[in-house]
Structure formats: structure tokens, C-alpha cells
């Protein structure tokens, strides 16, 4: 017996595409990272977020998301850990507003290090959001059929499909914002205001997460 019938799969793909296209914290994160380091960095950020999507899908399949949804303490701990991490990234970006221009001797190595770390930062950003875990617990089971067997594999495959759709959207964002950013990179003062914008976005995302209520 097939794990998914065609109507279920089609309905899931339609719903997943709509959800991905709705702007949210993930969109803001990718835009900020692309502005900070160009298209390549935006793509790495998108890949990191979609890796987190897969982790949440596996967690939902294994029942870990159900435990998180049932435990108020676990939800709050994960929520504030994620919020603190985002605020720290924002404050770090603000502290770097006085840094030299990207053409200096130290800016390029620093940018290269940031590019290498953005993938892991993006994974953490996605994983440390309890709302995403609870969302997966509510969304994915609607398309899972236990009578077809291999429930964990159904969760994983649905997560892979959502990740692929999400990464396509992230890639389009990264290429679009990256091209716009290249046009501004040569203008004086852009680097300073870019860092301030990024810092503000990160702090805003952190505060938004901290204020979220458990469903």
C-alpha cells in the first residue's frame, strides 16, 4: 500500500506552498542574512532553516513535539532560549556598526567566517522556536494515515517536501535581495546602516518569539 494517495499528496503540496509563501520570521531572517552577506549567505540561511524543518518533522513523527506541546515548562524554556539567541545576534550586529568597510584588510576574513557560521545559526534559529514544533504537530498529522504504516516515514517525507518548497522560496528571495544588495554595496555608509537594520530585525524576531503564547 502506498504511503500517500494522490488527493492527499496534492492537498498537502497546495497547503504547504501557501504556508511557505506567507511572509513570516523565516522570511525576515533570510532577507537579513542576504543583506548582510549576499546571495550565497542567504542560500545558506535558507538551507539551515529547512534543515530545522526536517528536524521538527522527525520530532513530530517520533512524538517529541507532543511532549513539548504538553509541557508548559519545556515550551517556555525553549522559547526563551531561542529569543535570547536572536536578541544576542541583534546586539552583536549593532556592535559591529562601527566596523571598517568591506574593502579593509579585516572585513573580508570576518565576512567569510560569518558565512561559514550562518548555516548553523539558521538551524538553531529554526529549532529553538517551539511554535514551529507545535505547528508541525498540528499540521502534518492531517496528512498522515496510520493505516498505511510507517508513520515516522510519512512525517519525514512530508517534511522533505515542505523543505524543498521552502528552499525554492528562500532561493528566490536570496537571489532577488542579493542583486539589490550588490547595487548598494558600493555606496558610502551602506555597510553601517545595513548592520543596524540587521540588528534591529534580529532583536525584533527575538522579542516576537519571547512574547508568543503557548497554544
pLDDT value for 115: 63
pLDDT recorded at residue 147:
76
Q: Across the chain, what does the average pLDDT equal?
A: 75
Considering only residues 158 and 112, tell me which one the structure prediction assigns the higher pLDDT: 158
Which are the contacts of 157, defined by CB distance < 8 A and separation ≥ 6?
A: 3, 4
**Contact predicate 69/133, CB 8 Å:** yes
Q: For residue 214, give Cα distances in angstroms to 38, 125, 155, 204.
A: 35, 18, 23, 19
The pLDDT value recorded for residue 124 is 87
pLDDT digits (tens, 9 = 90+) for 107-150: 444 555 566 688 988 898 888 877 677 777 777 777 877 777 77
CA distance 181 to 174: 10
Give the model's pLDDT for residue 108.
43
Mean pLDDT (whole number) for 173-186: 73
Residue 152 has pLDDT above 50, yes or no: yes
- Residue for grid cell 517556555: 76
Distances (CA, A) of 12 to 98, 121, 162, 177: 47, 29, 9, 29
Instruction: Give how far the C-alpha of residue 160 lies from the chain's centroid of Cα atoms, to the nearest Å.
Output: 15
| pLDDT, tens digit, 9 for 90 and up, residues 2-20 | 777 788 889 889 988 888 8
Flag whether the pTM goes above 0.75: no
Longest dimension (CA), the chain: 62
Write down the pLDDT at residue 128. Answer: 80
Amino acid at each position: 500500500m502506498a504511503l500517500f494517495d494522490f488527493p492527499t499528496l496534492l492537498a498537502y503540496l497546495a497547503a504547504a506552498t501557501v504556508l511557505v509563501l506567507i511572509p513570516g520570521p523565516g522570511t525576515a531572517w533570510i532577507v537579513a542574512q542576504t543583506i548582510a552577506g549576499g546571495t550565497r549567505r542567504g542560500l545558506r540561511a535558507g538551507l539551515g532553516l529547512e534543515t530545522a524543518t526536517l528536524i521538527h518533522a522527525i520530532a513530530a513523527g517520533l512524538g517529541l513535539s507532543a511532549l513539548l506541546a504538553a509541557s508548559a515548562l519545556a515550551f517556555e524554556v525553549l522559547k526563551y532560549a531561542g529569543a535570547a539567541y536572536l536578541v544576542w545576534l541583534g546586539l552583536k550586529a549593532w556592535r559591529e556598526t562601527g566596523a571598517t568597510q568591506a574593502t579593509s584588510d579585516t572585513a573580508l576574513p570576518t565576512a567569510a567566517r560569518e558565512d561559514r557560521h550562518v548555516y548553523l545559526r539558521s538551524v538553531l534559529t529554526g529549532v529553538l522556536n517551539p511554535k514551529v514544533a507545535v505547528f508541525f504537530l498540528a499540521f502534518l498529522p492531517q496528512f498522515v494515515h496510520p493505516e498505511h504504516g510507517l508513520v515516522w516515514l510519512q512525517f519525514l517525507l512530508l517534511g522533505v517536501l515542505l523543505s524543498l518548497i521552502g528552499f525554492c522560496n528562500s532561493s528566490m528571495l536570496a537571489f532577488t535581495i542579493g542583486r539589490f544588495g550588490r547595487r548598494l554595496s558600493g555606496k558610502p555608509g551602506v555597510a553601517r546602516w545595513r548592520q543596524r537594520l540587521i540588528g534591529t530585525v534580529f532583536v525584533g524576531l527575538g522579542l516576537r518569539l519571547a512574547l508568543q503564547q503557548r497554544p
